[in-house]
Amino acid sequence: MTGDGSQHEEDRNRLSNEVGSGMEIIEVKIGKSGSIYTGLEGTFANIVECCLRKKVLPGFHEKGLVADAKLKDRTLTLVLSGKLTGAKLTEMMEIAMPNIGAYADKGDNASFFIGVKSEK
């Protein structure tokens, strides 16, 4: 294994196994609001791969958009470059998630979390 995310991969695998049913529930938090997405198991790992290793946001092809990404346990903290409003961040994540196979859903039993902030 190589790259920034290697130390967290065991945790991710363990967490994936806990969820069962073949699906993952992911909550995207922007400020105080949260949106729920579901995707096949491995979806969170895929997002982490994109943001942490490749430094890209799915569905966005411009370089430098991901200013910073950190993974701690089951939470990915994402900082996007530029002075982006909460509404813009929400709009961007609504594009990013389906492009990696995660779809908007309802519920509150998220197993994984993505906190999204704008670069100051």
| Interacting residues toward other proteins by CB under 8 A | 1, 9-10, 12-13, 16, 21-23, 39-43, 45-46, 49-50, 53-54, 56, 58-61, 94-95, 98-101, 103
In whole angstroms, what is the distance from residue 100 CA to residue 55 CA? 14
Select 12 or 74, whichever has its Cβ closest to other proteins. 12
Tell the smallest beta-carbon distance from residue 15 to other proteins (Å): 11
Select 20 or 32, whichever has its Cβ closest to other proteins. 20
Select 53 or 88, whichever has its Cβ closest to other proteins. 53
Select 19 or 79, whichever has its Cβ closest to other proteins. 19
The b/e string for 75-106 (b: 16+ C-beta within 10 A; e otherwise) is ebbbbbeeebeeeebbebbeebbeebebeeee
CB atoms within 10 A of CB 42: 15
Residue entry with tokens 């982490």: 48
In whole angstroms, what is the distance from residue 41 CA to residue 22 CA? 5
Tell the smallest beta-carbon distance from residue 120 to other proteins (Å): 25
